[in-house]
Structure 1
Amino acid sequence: MIGIYGGTFNPVHYGHLRTAVEVKERLALQHIRMLPCRLPAHRQQPEASPEMRLSMLELAISATPGLQVDQRELQRPGPSYMVDTLQSLRTEFAETPLILIIGSDAFAGLESWHEWQRLFEYAHLVVVTRPGYMPQALPPVLQTRWIEDQALLAHQTAGHLLFLSVTLLDISATQIRQLIASGSSAQFLLPDAVLAYIQQHQLFQQTPPLPSGY
């Protein structure tokens, strides 16, 4: 099984990285592909360029076995729709279960995603949650896909929905950008190499806009 973990990574931080490592181990994934998006479909364009966000992500995971960067969304014009990404991955991994990893906040807005029901044609959906989280009443189309036994993910290439409790660190990219813009320290919230890159390129120096999410 292969994990798919997308985001703006603006910048990547320990919340992203801890989730990726823990999901990889919990589900015994071959590896996780970290996919920085070029143009987010549901939020404003990130301040850091796609090339800079890619560089920060590469620095962050360079010494972590099992995590790798996938650049396909950066190379595709237009908004970065996950359904297109999964369709592309499926052509490469025809018989391998694909695991799309998203947070509970993103899951709450799933029905606003472009062609969201088609996601299940290409991948399983794993929603990472805090321990003790219980999903609210699911619409019938999702209720029929919900499983509680993670072993079932390996039995078919796509189609299931699983809620997986992991250690979620209370860190956000918005918080980091605000700290940097205010001249405060963001140390220990993200890898030192990423923080050094931000300082070198003087990223996130301006007062950021209202928080746009994780």
Structure 2
Amino acid sequence: MKIGILGGTFDPIHFGHIRPALAVLAQLNLDKIWLMPNHIPPHKTGTHTTTQQRMEMVELVAQQYPQLALCDIEAQRSTPSYSAETLAQLAKQYPQHTFVFIMGTDSFVNLDKWYQWQSLFDHCHIAVCERQGWQLSADSIMAKELKQRQILAEQLQHQHNGGIIIANVDKQPYSSTWVREKLAKNQSITQAVPADVIDYIKLHHLYQSA
């Protein structure tokens, strides 16, 4: 199977995560996308909800969209989540799968600053979702990687790892910060968040201002 991996804090999960994931799945002809909440994000100071709550919100989305599934591999860790270690673990655990690690251009341009970033290509392909306002400078390390490694979606059938694929996704106006700010002001988020997740947020009184 060809499995897309989309990681994040998902605090909370919203259509800015879901719609690009579904677009990448369709464009690259993937079998499934695993949504992977992290427990201790290495680049953020913390989360606004518990790991269990974030996983439960992702699971609600996975129940609504059969193309998506919860992957709890990082959430079960007691240490910061480094993508290189996670993908190595997944590749070892599921050698029959071809993994495609999904990220935005904003992450890709800085990928060379990630922990053991080059080892990612030993375990997966990378799909880069183009984002407005972010561009690779021609002489950057990642521009050179892209030139050497870029492949087309159909090549996923024959190549197990090491490629970079550019995916075109519609820009989404939503972020988790935007959702939290709306909730703190008691404003509607129905256009940004699935109804089941909104019900969960209300039930557990999440993201409310003091």
Give the TM-score of the pair, scaled to structure 2.
Answer: 0.91
| Alignment CA distance shift 1:142-1:177 (3 Å) | same
Conserved 8 A contact 2:106-2:131: no
User: 1:90 is matched by which residue type in structure 2?
Assistant: A
CA drift at 1:43:
0.8
2:170 match: 167
| Alignment CA distance shift 1:43-1:157 (3 Å) | same
Residue 98 of structure 1: SS of its match in structure 2?
strand
Query: Partners of 1:71 and 1:107 in 2: how far apart?
Result: 23
| Alignment CA distance shift 1:148-1:88 (3 Å) | closer
1:45 match: 46
Pairing 1:189–2:192 present: yes
CA drift at 1:61:
2.1
Superposition CA RMSD, Å: 2.0
Q: Which moved more, 1:51-60 or 1:93-102?
A: 93-102
Q: How does 1:118-133 map to 2 (within 5 A)?
A: 118-130=119-131
Deviations 1:19-69 (A, max 9, x none): 111111111111111100000000111111100000111112212122110
Give the TM-score of the pair, scaled to structure 1.
Answer: 0.89
Residue 171 of structure 1: SS of its match in structure 2?
coil
1:100 match: 101
2:72 match: 71
Residue 26 of structure 1: SS of its match in structure 2?
helix
CA drift at 1:154:
2.5
1:154 match: 157
Residue 62 of structure 1: SS of its match in structure 2?
helix
Conserved 8 A contact 2:109-2:135: no
Conserved 8 A contact 2:13-2:176: yes
CA drift at 1:108:
2.4
CA drift at 1:85:
1.1
Structure 2 gaps, min length 5: none
